[in-house]
Structure 1
Amino acid sequence: MASLSSSLASYDHLFFTAVAFLISALIFLISRKSKSKSLKLPPGPPGWPVVGNLFQVALSDKQFFQYVRDIQPKYGPIFTLYMGSRTLIIVSSAELAREALIEKGQVFASRPRETPTRTIFSSNKFTVNSAVYGPAWRSLRRNMVQGMLSAARLKEFHGVRDSAMDRLIDRLRDEADSNGGVVFVLKNARFAVFCILLSMCFGVEMNQHTIDRIDEVLKDVLITVLPRLDDFLPILSLLFPKQRKRAMEVREVQLKTLVPFVEMRRSILKNPGSDKAAASFSYLDTLFDLTIEGRKSSPTDAELVSLCSELINGGTDTTATALEWGIARLIENPLIQSKLYAEIKSTVGDRKVDEKDLEKMEYLNAFSKELLRKHPPTYFSLTHAAVEPGATLGGYDIPADANLEFFLPPISEDPKLWTDPEKFDPDRFLSGKEDADITGVTGVKMMPFGVGRRICPGLNMATIHVNLMLARMVQEFEWSALPTQRKLDFSEKLEFTVVMKTSLQAMIKPRA
C-alpha cells in the first residue's frame, strides 16, 4: 500500500481524468451499495463518486506515505480513505495500535483480500505474512518461528553470517581502493544480507553469477506486485490485459530459477554426505514434510518457492535499509560513532566482533533501537483486517473487508511518548532514561516489526543482522561524508522500503 502513489505516478494525469469521467458516466451501472451508511466509520477526506480518494492520492504528486503524513494532523489518529473498491482505515496513535493489536489482537489478526497478482506469488495466500488468520497460518508461522528462527536454530547459521561479514568487509575495502575511498552503503549491505538468507533458505553453495541471477528474479517479483490502478478499480483490468500476462511470466521465471535448488536440497537430504558444500540445515528442511492443519498434502514446489521467497525478500531490503540509515547517522554524529567504536574496542580488543559479543554492547543496542525508532524500514506495518464483521476500534466500526493500516512515524515521534522525539539520541535508551518494548507486550511506543499476533517472526534474526553488520563495519572502518558534502541529505523515498532519497556514498578509512 505504501508504494501506491509511486507506481501510479507513471500514469499521465490526463488519463486519470479521462478514466474518472468514464467511471462517473457508468455510475448507474456500478452502483455501490455502501455499507458505510449503516456503519460509523472514521472520518476522512471527501472523495469522488465510485473512485473515492484514489485519484486524489494519485494526482497529488506525492508518495502515499507523504500524502498520509500531510492529512493526518487534520483528520486525527484514525481516518478513512476510500480507494476505489477498497476501504483503507489509517491508524496513527499508540493507544489505538495497542487496542487493535494487543487488547483485540485476535479480532484484527487476519489479512484483507489480495490483488490477483499478489495471489499468484503467494501461492493463493500460502505464506506466513499473507495467510488469513486460521489453521494454515498457525502451521506456517509455528514452523518458521520454532523450526527456523528460534534462538537455537539461528545459532546454527553462525558460520554463514561470519563468512558473509568477512566478504562484506573485503568488498568494501576493494571498492574503496578502486574508487578513492568511496563506497556505496546500501548496495554492499544488501548483498551481504541477501547471501546470508539464500544460504539459510536453500542450504547449497552458490557462485556469484547464480546469486546475482536470483537477486534479479526476486527484484522482478517485488516490482510486479507493486499496487496498480486496476488493483483498486478492478473494472479497469480490461484496459491492462498485459499486466496479468506479465505477472504469470515473472512467476514462471521465478519457479524455473528456484525449483532446481529446491530439488537439489531434497536430493541432499535423501543422500546425506553427497554434497560437502551443502549446509547442515536449511529452511527448506522444515518445509518438505510440513503438516498443515486442514489439509492432507505437504507443500508443493511452487508453495516452497513462495515461502522461501518470502523469507529472502522480507529480510533483505529491510535490513539493508536500516544499515544505510545507520551509517548516515554515524557520519552525521561523529561523537556517536566514536562512542560506538570505543565500546567495540573495549569489548573485543583486537579480535573481530563475534555474535556472542553483541549482548554485551549496551551502546550498540541503544543505537540500533534508536535507529529503528527514527527509521523503521517501512512506514506502514503489514496490513491487518478484522476476522469477522462487527469489529470496532476507537469507537468506530471496522468492516471485515477493510484494510487496517498502521502508520508508524506519528507513534515513534509522539512528544507525549518521547523526549525530544525529533532528535536522534541513542542515550535515551541508557540508564533507564527512556525505554520501549518493540514487541509491544509492555506497551506500544514504537513498532518497526509490528506488534501482537502478527508481529514479524524475523525480529530476532533482523536484530542480529543489523547489530552484527554495524559492529563489524564500525570496527573495520572510520566512516565520513564525501569531501563535497557539507551536510547529509536525510530526505526519503519509497522503493521496496523507505530509503535515502540520494543513495548514501561514504568515505571509509581503515582503522589503525
Structure 2
Amino acid sequence: MDLISSTLTIIFFTTLIFILSTIIFYLTRPRPYLNLPPGPPGWPVVGNLFQVAASGKPFFQYVKDLLPKYGPIMTLKMGTRTMIILSQSNLVHEALIEKGQVFATRPAENPTRAVFSCNKFTVNAALYGPVWRSLRRNMVQNALSASKLRTFRDVRVTAMDKLVDRLKTEAEANGGVVYVLKNARFAVFCILLSMCFGVEMNERSIEEVDEMMKTVLITLDPRLDDYLPLLRPLFSKQRKRAMEVRNQQIEMLVPFIERRRAAISRPGSDPTSAEFSYLDTLFDLSVEGRKDPPTNPEIVTLCSEFLNGGTDTTATAVEWAIARFIESPAIQSRLFDEIKSIAGDRKIDEKDIEKMSYLNAVVKELLRKHPPTYFSLTHSVTEPAKLAGYDIPKGTNVEIYIPGIGEDPKLWNDPGRFDPDRFLTGGETADITGVSELKMIPFGVGRRICPGLGMATVHVSLMIARMVQEFEWRSWPENSKVDFGEKVEFTVVMKNTLRAMIIPRV
C-alpha cells in the first residue's frame, strides 16, 4: 500500500508541475503585439470567464451591459477562447459581407458537440469548405427551395387543422385557456417530421422524438471545460451521459430511417409514406472529398439538424406574436379584417399570404423585435484579418449581438415600440436577408445565413394567420398585463410561458 501511495503522490505532483509549467509558459511566451478591440480586463488564463459567472447575469445581459462602455466591437477572453462581439450594422456588413469568405467558417468544437455533429458533418457546424458546400446545396435545393416547399403544402394544411383541433380541445377542458408555445411547437414539429422522414407517425412517436430532440439540446449546453480544456478530466460523467444520449438518439431515429429506405426500395410497400422527403436525398448523397455516402449516424445528425433548426425558432416566434396581439387588440383586429378581406369564410391558405401586406408587416416587426436568438451562430476567421482597424487573429470566435442592430435608434424610429405600421405608413424598410440593406438579421447574413429562412417565414405567417382567423386571443387571467420578460432556452422564449384565453370566431 505504501508503494502504491507513493506512486500516486509522485503522479499527482508530476501532473501538477506539468500543468503549472504549461500555464507559466503560456503566460510568459513572447507574443506579437495585437491591436484587439477594447474589452474588460480579465484574469490570467481564465480571462473574463469567472467575471461572467460571478455577475449572476445571463451572458446576453452581461454583454448588453458592457456595450455603453466598450462600444459596438469589443473583446472578451473566455478561457482559451477569444471572442469578438459585434453589435452594429456597419461592422457586421464589413465582416460578413465585405470580408465574408474570411469570416465564414465555424470554431473548433468540444468533444461532446463533435459526437453529436459527427465531427461537424452538418450545414450549420461544418467548416467553410467542400463538405459545407455539399451539405448546404443539398438541403436548399432538395428541401428548402420555394419549389420543394410547395410540395409539402398538404402537410402544412393537415398540421394547421390539427393545431386548431388541439387548441379547441384544450380550451374546452380548461375553461377556454390554452398554452401557446406547447401547441405551436407540436404543430411545427409535425410539419418538419413529415418533411424530413416522409413516414407517418402516431402522436406518441411524435412526442417521443420531440422529447429526444429537447434532451439533445440540453446535453449540448455550454460547460466550463468548453472554455478551459484542462478541466475536461473533471467532466467525465457529463461526457459519459452525452454518449448515452447520443446512442439513444441513434436508436430512436434509425428505425424511421430504415423504414423510409425500405419504402423507397419497394414502392407501394408502405401506404403511409409520402412521395418525397429530405431523408431521400441523404441515402446516396455525394459529398466533395468523400467516396462513401453518409452513414446512419451521420444521417441521424443531418435529420436532427433539420428538425431542431426549424422547430423552436418558429414556435417561439408564434408565442411572441400572440403575446403582442393580446397586448394590442387593435393589431389583432386589423389582421383579422385583412384575413376576412382576402379569404372570406374559407380557411386562409399560404397562397393568400403574399397578398397580405399587414400580415407581412407584422411578421417583419416580430422578427425585428423578437429575433429567435440573441446571438447568431458563432463565426470564426480562416486567417488573420482586420475589422474596423482592429486585429482579428485566426481562429477567433466572432459573435453577432442581434438586438444591437434590430433596436439601433440610428436605424429605426422608436425601436422599442412594436409597430408593424413602420413598414407601411411609416415608410421604413427592412430586408431580412441583409442583401439590399442590413437593418435586421434574425437569420444571420452572408454566406452562413440560415438556409431555412424561407420555410420559417412561411410557417410563422401561416400559423399566425390561422390562429387569428379561428380565435380571438385575450389575456389570462382576464385583464392581466402580458409579461414580456425573456429567458434563453436554445431560443429566446418568454420568461413565463404564455397562457391565453381563446374565443372561437363565429
- TM-score for the superposition, normalised by structure 2: 0.95
Match of 1:56 in 2: 51
Task: For residue 290 of structure 2, give the secondary structure of its aligned residue in structure 1.
Answer: coil
Deviation at 1:485, TM superposition (A): 4.9
Q: 2: CA distance between counterparts of 1:286 and 1:186? A: 31
- Compute the displacement of 1:486 (Å): 2.6
User: Closer, same or farther in 2 for the Cα pair 1:24/1:382, shift >3 Å?
Assistant: farther
Quick one: which of 372, 376, 382 aligns to 2:371?
A: 376
| 8 A Cα contact 2:382 2:395, kept in partner | no
From the superposition, tell whether residues 123 and 35 of structure 1 become closer, same or farther in structure 2 (CA, over 3 Å).
Answer: farther
Q: Structure 1: how far apart are the matches of 2:271 and 2:31?
A: 62
Structure 2 unaligned regions, length at least 5: 1-14
- Shifted more, 462-471 versus 41-50: the winner is 41-50
For residues 104-146 of structure 1, what are the alpha-carbon distances to aligned partners after superposition, in whole Å with 9 as ceiling and x for unaligned?
Answer: 1111110010111110000100000000000000000000111
Q: Which residue of 2 aligns with 1:463?
A: 457
What displacement does 1:38 show?
2.1
Q: Could you say if the C-alpha distance between residues 434 and 35 of structure 1 is closer, same or farther in structure 2, counting changes exceeding 3 Å?
A: farther
Taking the aligned partners of 1:262 and 1:459, their CA distance within structure 2 comes to 26
Structure 1 residue aligned with 2:232? 237
Pick one of 255, 276, 281 that aligns with 2:271. Answer: 276
Q: Does 1:345 align with 2:340?
A: yes
1:506 maps to 500
1:387: Cα distance to partner? Answer: 1.7
**Matching residue within 463, 480, 498 for 1:486:** 480
- 1:107 counterpart = 2:102: yes
**Deviation per CA, 1:133-171, whole angstroms, max 9, x where unpaired?**
000000000001111101110001001110000000000
1:170 to 162, 165, 169: 165
Equivalence for 1:435: 429
**Which residue of 30, 35, 38 corresponds with 2:33?**
38
Query: SS where residue 380 of structure 2 aligns?
Result: coil
Please give the alpha-carbon distance, in whole angstroms, between the structure 2 residues aligned to 1:162 and 1:114.
39
Q: 2:410 is matched with which residue?
A: 416
* 2:219 corresponds to 1:196: no
Q: C-alpha separation between the residues in 1 aligned to 2:334 and 2:241?
A: 51
Indicate the residue corresponding to 1:147 in structure 2.
142
The letter of the residue matching 1:404 is: V
1:351-362 alignment to 2 at 5 Å?
Answer: 351-362=346-357
CA contact (8 A) 2:94 2:387 kept: yes
1:80 aligns with one of 59, 63, 75 = 75
Query: CA separation in 1, counterparts of 2:18 and 2:127?
Result: 36
Query: In the alignment, is residue 29 of structure 1 matched against residue 15 of structure 2?
Result: no
Q: Contact 1:383–1:404 (CA<8 Å) still a contact in 2?
A: yes
Offset at 1:411?
Answer: 0.5
Which of residues 205, 211, 225 is equivalent to 1:210? Answer: 205
Q: Which residue of 2 aligns with 1:396?
A: 390
Q: Distance in 2 between matches of 1:392 and 1:260?
A: 49
Kindly state the Cα deviation for residue 268 of structure 1 after the two structures are TM-superposed.
0.8
**2:361 matched to which residue of 1?**
366
Match of 1:453 in 2: 447
SS of residue in 2 equivalent to 1:164: helix
Q: Which amino acid in 2 is paired with 1:64?
A: F
Closer, same or farther: CA 255–342 of 1 in aligned 2, 3 Å: same
Taking a change above 3 Å as real, the CA distance of residues 421 and 25 of structure 1, as seen in their structure-2 partners, is farther
Write the distance in 2 (CA, Å) between the matches of 1:35 and 1:25: 20
* Secondary structure at the counterpart of residue 354 of structure 2: helix
CA distance in 1, matches of 2:31, 2:360: 46
In 2: Cα distance, 1:463 partner to 1:100 partner? 26
**How many percent identity over aligned positions?**
68
Q: Report the residue type matching 1:47 in the other structure.
A: G
Distance in 1 of aligned mates of 2:31 and 2:66: 21
- 8 Å contact kept, 1:102–1:440: no
**1:134 equivalent in alignment to 2:151:** no
Aligned-residue offset at 1:36: 6.7
- How far did 1:55 drift? 0.7
Question: CA contact under 8 A between 2:317 and 2:366: conserved in structure 1?
Answer: yes
Structure 1 unmatched runs, 5+: 1-21
The amino acid that maps onto 1:374 is: K
Deviations, residues 200-253 of structure 1 (Å, cap 9, x unaligned): 110001011111111111111101111001111111112121111111100000
Partner SS state of residue 339, structure 1: helix
Q: Deviations over 1:274-303 (max 9, x none)?
A: 111111110011111111011111111111
TM-score, normalising length: structure 1:
0.94
Measure the CA separation in 1 of the matches of 2:159 and 2:463: 10
**How many pairs align?**
490
Give the AA of the match of 1:337.
Q
Q: 1:25 to 1:54 in 2, by over 3 A?
A: farther
CA distance in 1, matches of 2:477, 2:284: 56
